[in-house]
Amino acid sequence: MIAGAEKEQDVQTQETTKQNVLRALALAKTQGYLLINGAPYPTKNGWVPGHVLTHPSIGGEAGKRRKRDLESEGWIIEKRKKRDSNGYEYRLFCTLHAAQRIAYSTTMNFIPKMIYGDRAYQIEIFQ
């Protein structure tokens, strides 16, 4: 019974971490910075440095893995190489309105289809 409870808690922790990463990406897009433990991290045009996603209050060591989990669920997260560095930056691809809905949600019950709709249909229109 204890092993099952630990496994359930692990799943809940993973979900919370994914939500934290998603919220951080959305907040970066809406306000241009992230405030972590009282320190501001600038996020010009919504681009979040990769090391910020691994901050203990956001994603911890698993921050980038949770970002990949979000991508596998259907969230579109852009990636680019940082200037003058070997690191990468990430940005949530969505409208500003959608980012605000995600960032300031109290429940975080969002799925990609709620934001992007039927992406396959939209792609076919423009091809």
Torsion of CA 36, 46, 20, 111, to 10 degrees: 160
The values of phi and psi at residue 79, to 5°, are -135, 135
> 98: which residues sit within 8 A by CB, 6+ positions away?
115
Rounded average pLDDT over 117-123: 52
Indicate the residue type of 92.
L
The CA-atom distances, in angstroms, between 117 and each of 13, 21, 37, 84, 121 are 28, 21, 35, 37, 9
22-44: pLDDT as tens digits: 999 999 999 999 998 888 999 99
Give the pLDDT band of residue 118 (cuts 50, 70, 90): low
